[in-house]
Amino acid sequence: MIKKSMRLEQLQAFLCVAETGNFQQAARKCNVTQSTISRQVQALEAEVGVSLFHRSNQTKLTLAGERLWPYARKICQAWETATQEIAEMLAGKQPELCVAAIHSVCGTYLPPVLQRFCRHYPEVKLRVTALGSDRTMKVLKDGLVDIAIVMNNRFFTTSSEMLVDVLYTEPIQVLMAANHPLTEYDQIPWSELIRYPQVVFKDGYGMQRLVQEQFDKLGAKLNAALELNTLDAFRGVVRQGNLIALLPHSALMDASIDPTLAIRNIGITPATSKVSSIKDSVWSREVVLVTTSDRMQIPPIEYFSKLVKELIPRQVEQLTTIKRQIAN
């Protein structure tokens, strides 16, 4: 039986001798001593249990050597191809970069990042997919994407290989029809908010879980009348009736200029015994960039991550400043 300790150097030495027909010439071609070549070939022969060369004036392959030669050549060629591809990857020669992000980021903050990246790496094909946070983290962990931009959930992002960078924190607000009864409030009290049926994201979206968790903390029942997965659908349904939707600030940019819709802030969490563990604060979510430490060694991924961390927080701050100026 053939042992399993065969080394690549042994196969390379075997091929070099087979191609030159001489141990001395093989040593010169491989830039090693003749004794090194001989030792590698002898070790390989010991592994397979048979001589691979007729040793005479001209070294020729034995029958076993002829059988081994095509396999050794394929193995060495495969290794050379693999190491070359890894070297090219580390040098930034990556054919594509795959990004998955939540819908609000894709539509509001990501376009300037994509433009800058494509100008810097025109040869890299950029693939961007809009998904819910839970689904986005799954495809990242499965190796289907290189970078994820999601609503932070420490249950998914806390692991040794994950690199997590906070991009921004934003409040959760209420979207409703312009003539909805709740428009009488500047800040809607939770006691009023929980009375109305809601449009929520489908399963697999972090916002659905965030809303449900908040209602559980309040000891209130969430009346989820309809599940959707696009912001356009949310706006279309809400403007036609009594339904409301709890959405992050960045998801409401288009709705803010629609006269048929209204947006209101949510009041501070009420200080009741059921929510005594909840601090009085504005209800918000944290948006983060997530990738893995090994991916950050690849220049295009590192550059894209740098752009996201530089440009998206800046856009958030600019939009916040503009809104404050308009409000004043």
Distance CA(30)–CA(78), nearest Å, equals: 19
Residue with tokens 């599940």: 227
Show Cβ contacts of residue 309 under 8 Å, excluding neighbours closer than 6 positions: 165, 167, 289
In this predicted model, what pLDDT tens digit does every residue of 306-324 receive, in sequence order?
Answer: 999 999 999 998 887 776 6
The domain made up of 169-284 has a fold known as D-Maltodextrin-Binding Protein; domain 2 (3.40.190)
**Per-residue pLDDT at 194:** 92
The number of C-alpha atoms within 13 Å of 251 and in the hemisphere containing its C-beta is 28
Q: In the structure encoding, which two tokens stand for residue 98, read together? A: 């795959």
Count CB atoms within 10 A of the CB of residue 279: 9
**Choice between 26 and 262, residue whose per-residue pLDDT is larger:** 262
- The rounded radius of gyration (Å) of the Cα atoms in the chain is 31
Does domain 8-90 bear CATH number 3.20.20.80?
Answer: no
In this predicted model, what pLDDT tens digit does every residue of 247-303 receive, in sequence order?
Answer: 999 888 888 889 999 999 998 865 544 444 445 577 999 999 999 988 888 899 999
- Least confident among 24-33, 66-75, 192-201, 231-240: 24-33
Q: What band does 47 get if pLDDT is binned at 50, 70 and 90?
A: confident
Q: What band does 157 get if pLDDT is binned at 50, 70 and 90?
A: low
**Per-residue pLDDT at 93:** 65
**Per-residue pLDDT at 12:** 87
**Identity of residue 253:** M
| 96-165+287-327 and 169-284, same CATH topology | yes
pLDDT at 135 over 50: yes
- Cβ(101)–Cβ(136) below 8 Å: yes
Residue 100 phi/psi, 5-degree rounding, is -125, 135
**Per-residue pLDDT at 91:** 67
Sketch the domain layout of the chain as residue ranges: 8-90, 96-165+287-327, 169-284
Distance CA(241)–CA(201), nearest Å, equals: 18
Instruction: Report the predicted TM-score, pTM, of the whole model to 2 decimal places.
Output: 0.71
| Alpha-helical runs (H) found in the chain | 8-20, 23-30, 34-48, 63-90, 103-108, 110-120, 133-141, 154-157, 190-193, 206-218, 231-238, 299-327
Does domain 96-165+287-327 bear CATH number 3.20.20.20?
Answer: no
